Amino acid sequence: MDLTEAIVKLRLAQKRLKRLLSRLARERRRLFEEVKRALTDGDRETARRYAERVVSLMHRERTLQRLLDVLEACELRLEQKRVLSELRPVIGALDKLVSLPEEVGVEEVVAFAESLLGEGARAEESEVEKLLRLAREESIKELEEMLPSVEEAEVRE
């Protein structure tokens, strides 16, 4: 299997995963509405059963999202590798045209380009931590919006 074929297959898998994640999210939202409806009706046991299903779906979504993230990272790496392999002949032609010193060959130029791509992909640790903190804060806000507050739950009981 060549790189282009592998990239296409990865993209198809990503597309399927995204559709599945979308269906799971719709089902999770529907079940959450059932949780609210059961709580409103005073049926705490039914609300608990629905809530357990919601939590189960959330775990499945999280697992599938991690898998999607891995597939996207793999696709990116394969795409980089494909681009670099396509650049090898161009760099070879440039090597002949530009008359680089003999000690600098195509392999050195390609290795240098690969090292630049690798360095550009690494984020500063502090930036990563800031991004993680921001994502965690937004996730907490979303969860707080999704779940009824303790006061609301007590009032309904």
Query: What is the per-residue pLDDT for 120?
Result: 47
How far apart are the C-alpha atoms of 155 and 157, rounded to whole Å? 5
In this structure, what token pair is assigned to residue 43?
């049926």
- Which residues, at least 6 apart from 88, have a Cβ–Cβ distance to it below 8 Å? 106, 110
Looking at residues 4-25, what average pLDDT do you find?
Answer: 94
Q: What is the pLDDT of residues 18-71, one digit of tens each?
A: 999 999 999 999 999 999 999 999 999 999 999 999 999 999 999 999 999 999
Residue 25 CA to its chain's centroid (Å): 15
What's the pTM? 0.57
Query: What is the per-residue pLDDT for 13?
Result: 94
Query: What is the per-residue pLDDT for 137?
Result: 79
- Which residues, at least 6 apart from 81, have a Cβ–Cβ distance to it below 8 Å? 3
Residue 30 CA to its chain's centroid (Å): 24
Degrees, nearest 5: CA angle 55-13-6:
145
